[in-house]
């Protein structure tokens, strides 16, 4: 029955075959167990029923009435024989009893045949039991299946970092051929285009050298014609190649001279063109020249081709290492220079020499008229004179003298340093002397200040070597510390607890003799003190009362809880740590960049879960996990 049911299910939900079998065997076993239990129960019931009926019959016979259930009793008796006999009765045994009757042989044959073929089905279980059996089997099977996830779950829980989505996209590149193979035209236009392309005769396939159209063209030509065309084609191709190689060669020439020649040629050409223009089309020539003039003006006004632009500065920075950058800067300067060049005057038709002379004259005139230039001349003149003199004197001075001067200079330096270091009185003399020497540069005085300096230095050193006691002569640190310790001891001392209340054990009022009362009072007070004042030495042991810093003169050990530190202390060890040492080690390990190299820092701050912005995270997939495991 169970098999039947599971087969029906098979039709709908496909289950793995082996899984199905396992499930069925488990199911059968449980069913058998339950059947056995059931049989035992029935036997027990039958026995008790039998006894009851016998008892009833006996009671009825006491009344003198004949038992009506005699027949059934007899049958029961027979059955008892059958049921109670240890030997099992087989159908063949029953057949043996038919031995006298004819045809019995045939009957036997038929019976044996039938017996060999058929198998008797078990009685079906009651619904509630079969359901339970199925449930048990299903659950145990599911448990087994789900246990396969255990290593995955464990791994994910222990992982330092989980990156979601778990299924990373495939980043492998698709080749063009793979793409085109997979591609299929979808829209109408695509379909039309692909149809045209496919049917075209100009498609070149891998196998053939020529396309269909080419082949047809070749076939259509005569041999002569073809040869001619071919030779023409080859010639053209060869020429093209020569030309290309020539240009390449020319381009690669690095000779400066060649380049200069080339440039001159170009300039000449340009000049020629200009001349031609002048003679042929003066209007246009004029325009060109005017334009050039304008450009020049603009260039002179602007800083466009000077090295002041942002770009130029950047290039200049690169120039040290980058030849290209340097060239570019140079080029720009060149452009500027060319643009700023003077142009030939349009009207002036005189010879070159005259022109030059004129120019010089104008320049001098301008210089004379310009008050700025005059001023500059005066200053420049003076300076130049001085420079000349200096140079002359330098050459005139003997070598030894120069050296002395240098010494003085070096001592000047040491002077300023010393002034900063020590403001000694003895120094004044030296500085005075030196200042004098400063004032008269032409005739420097050589003073030996070495011994003086040494004296000052010695003094400074001896001052450094003051003893501690001298330095702290005014404030008595030792005594202060002692007092502090005393106050700490006093404040931390365990104090006696006084439970006495005012007025206890005291009587007052009329009829009390004050003297007698005083005496009594004294005794009473003593008794009360003994009873109600709890002294620390009565409760605590001597070790507990003793301070830990008793013998230590320079130390205060306080055993009081410091509330300010308590803010930074945890009371219980966190659950994930086994001992205090581990926890402290964890806290002592810094994470920050200040204490760790960069790569370590990046590693330490990795978050436990990393997700990608805007991407959907799907649940873990069995197939992916299996793939991952196989890969590993």
Partner 1 sequence: MKVKMLCRDPNDYVRETKKDIFKMPRNYDSSLHPLEVPREYSRALNSTKLERVFAKPFLGSLDGHKDGVHALCKHPTQLSILLSGACDGEIKIWNLAERKCLQTYIAHDGFVRGICMNPSASMFLSCGNDKIIKHWSYDPLSKSKSCDAIQTIVGKTFYTSIDHHFKKPVYATSGERVDVWDINHLEPVKSYSWGVDSHYSTKFSPVEHNILASAAADRSVILYDIRQSVPMRKVVLAMSSNQICWNPLEAMIFTVANEDHNLYTFDMRKLDCPLQVHKDHVGAVMALDYSPTGKQFVSASYDKTIRIFEANNGHSREVYHTKRMQHVMAIKWSLDDKYIISGSDEMNIRMWKAQAAEKLGLMKPREREQLEYGEKLKEKFKYFPQIKTIKRHRHLPRPVYNAIKENRIIKASRQRKEANRRAHSKPGTVPFVAEKKKAVVDEQE
Residues contributing to the site for partner 1 (CB under 8 A): 5, 9, 12-13, 15, 131-132, 134-136, 138-139, 142-143, 145-147, 149, 153, 156, 162, 164, 317-318, 321, 409, 412-413, 567-571, 574, 586-588, 590-597, 601-602, 604-607, 609, 611-620, 622
Q: How far apart are CA 290 and CA 583, in angstroms?
A: 87
Q: How far apart are CA 151 and CA 155, in angstroms?
A: 6
Q: How far apart are CA 310 and CA 430, in angstroms?
A: 54
Phi/psi at 13 (5° precision): -110, 120
Shortest Cβ distance from residue 202 to partner 1 (Å)? 39
Shortest Cβ distance from residue 620 to partner 1 (Å)? 5
* Cβ proximity to partner 1, 46 vs 316, nearer residue: 316
Shortest Cβ distance from residue 139 to partner 1 (Å)? 4
Q: Is the peptide bond before 375 cis (omega within 30 degrees of 0)?
A: no
* Cβ proximity to partner 1, 64 vs 574, nearer residue: 574
Residue with token string 């996830």: 149
Closest CA to 342 of 278, 293, 304: 293
* Cβ proximity to partner 1, 249 vs 608, nearer residue: 608
Shortest Cβ distance from residue 387 to partner 1 (Å)? 17
* Cβ proximity to partner 1, 51 vs 586, nearer residue: 586
Query: Is residue 205 within 8 Å of residue 214, measured between CB atoms?
Result: no
- In a 10 Å sphere around its CB, with 0-12 CB exposed, 13-18 middle and 19+ buried, how is residue 418 labelled? buried
* Cβ proximity to partner 1, 19 vs 483, nearer residue: 19
Q: How far apart are CA 354 and CA 361, in angstroms?
A: 11
Shortest Cβ distance from residue 401 to partner 1 (Å)? 15
Q: What is the DSSP string of 374-388?
A: HHHHHHHHHHHHHHH
* Cβ proximity to partner 1, 285 vs 601, nearer residue: 601
Closest CA to 305 of 320, 318, 295, 291: 295
* Cβ proximity to partner 1, 50 vs 134, nearer residue: 134
Q: How far apart are CA 478 and CA 482, in angstroms?
A: 6
Shortest Cβ distance from residue 389 to partner 1 (Å)? 18
* Cβ proximity to partner 1, 45 vs 138, nearer residue: 138
CA angle, 146 then 149 then 154, to 5°: 135
Shortest Cβ distance from residue 121 to partner 1 (Å)? 20
- DSSP H/E element including 217: helix 212-220
Shortest Cβ distance from residue 609 to partner 1 (Å)? 5
Closest CA to 461 of 422, 428, 427, 429: 422
């Amino acid at each position: 029955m169970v098999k039947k049911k599971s087969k029906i299910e098979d039709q709908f939900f496909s289950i793995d075959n082996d899984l199905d079998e396992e499930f069925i065997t488990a199911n059968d076993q449980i069913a058998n167990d339950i059947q056995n239990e059931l049989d035992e129960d029935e036997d027990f019931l039958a026995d008790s029923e039998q006894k009851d009926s016998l008892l009833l019959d006996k009671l009825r016979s006491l009344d003198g009435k004949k038992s009506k259930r005699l027949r059934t009793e007899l049958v029961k008796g027979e059955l008892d024989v059958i049921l109670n006999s240890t030997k099992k009765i087989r159908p063949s045994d029953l057949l043996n009893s038919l031995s006298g009757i004819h045809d019995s042989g045939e009957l036997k044959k038929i019976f044996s045949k039938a017996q060999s073929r058929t198998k008797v089905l078990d009685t079906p279980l009651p619904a509630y039991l079969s359901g339970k059996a199925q449930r048990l089997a299903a659950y145990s099977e599911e448990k087994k299946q789900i246990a396969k996830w255990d290593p995955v779950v464990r791994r994910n829980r222990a992982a330092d970092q989980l990156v979601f989505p778990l299924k990373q996209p495939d980043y492998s590149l698709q080749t063009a051929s793979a793409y085109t193979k997979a591609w299929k035209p979808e829209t109408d236009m695509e379909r039309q285009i692909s149809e045209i392309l496919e049917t075209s005769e100009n498609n070149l396939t891998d196998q053939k050298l020529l396309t269909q159209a080419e082949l047809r063209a070749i076939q259509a030509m005569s041999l002569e014609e073809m040869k001619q065309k071919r030779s023409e084609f080859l010639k053209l191709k060869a020429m093209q190649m020569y030309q290309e190689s020539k240009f390449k060669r020319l381009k690669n020439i690095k000779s400066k001279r060649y380049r200069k020649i080339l440039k001159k040629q170009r300039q000449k050409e340009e000049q020629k063109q200009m001349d031609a223009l002048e003679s042929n089309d003066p209007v246009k020539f004029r325009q060109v020249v005017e334009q050039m003039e304008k450009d020049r003006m603009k260039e002179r006004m602007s800083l466009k081709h000077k090295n002041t632009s942002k770009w130029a500065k950047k290039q200049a920075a690169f120039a040290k290492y980058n030849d290209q950058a340097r060239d570019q800067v140079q080029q720009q300067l060149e452009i500027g220079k060319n643009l700023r060049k003077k142009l030939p005057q349009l009207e002036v038709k005189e010879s070159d020499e005259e022109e030059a002379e004129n120019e010089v004259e104008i320049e001098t005139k301008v210089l004379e008229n310009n008050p700025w230039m005059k001023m500059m001349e005066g200053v420049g003149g003076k300076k130049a004179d001085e420079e000349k003199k200096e140079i002359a004197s330098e050459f005139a001075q003997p070598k030894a003298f120069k050296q002395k001067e240098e010494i003085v200079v070096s001592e000047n330096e040491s002077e300023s340093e010393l002034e900063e270091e020590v403001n000694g009185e003895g120094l004044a003399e030296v500085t005075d002397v030196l200042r004098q020497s400063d004032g008269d540069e032409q005739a420097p005085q050589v003073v030996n200040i070495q011994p003086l300096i040494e004296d000052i230095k010695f003094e400074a050193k001896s001052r450094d070597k003051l003893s501690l006691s001298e330095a702290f002569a005014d404030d008595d640190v030792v005594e202060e510390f002692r007092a502090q310790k005393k106050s700490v001891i006093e404040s931390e001392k365990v104090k006696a607890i006084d439970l006495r209340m005012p007025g206890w054990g005291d009587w007052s009022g009329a009829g009390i003799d004050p003297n007698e009362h005083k005496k009594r009072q004294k005794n009473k007070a003593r008794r009360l003190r003994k009873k109600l004042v709890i002294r620390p030495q009565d409760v605590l042991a001597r070790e507990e009362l003793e301070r830990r810093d008793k013998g230590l003169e320079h130390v205060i050990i306080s055993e009081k809880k410091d509330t300010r530190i308590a803010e930074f202390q945890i009371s219980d060890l966190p659950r994930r740590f086994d001992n205090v040492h581990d926890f402290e080690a964890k806290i002592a390990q810094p994470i920050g960049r200040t204490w760790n190299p960069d790569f370590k820092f990046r590693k330490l701050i990795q978050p436990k879960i990393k997700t990608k912005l805007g991407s959907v995270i799907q649940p873990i997939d069995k197939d992916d996990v299996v793939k991952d495991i196989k890969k590993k």
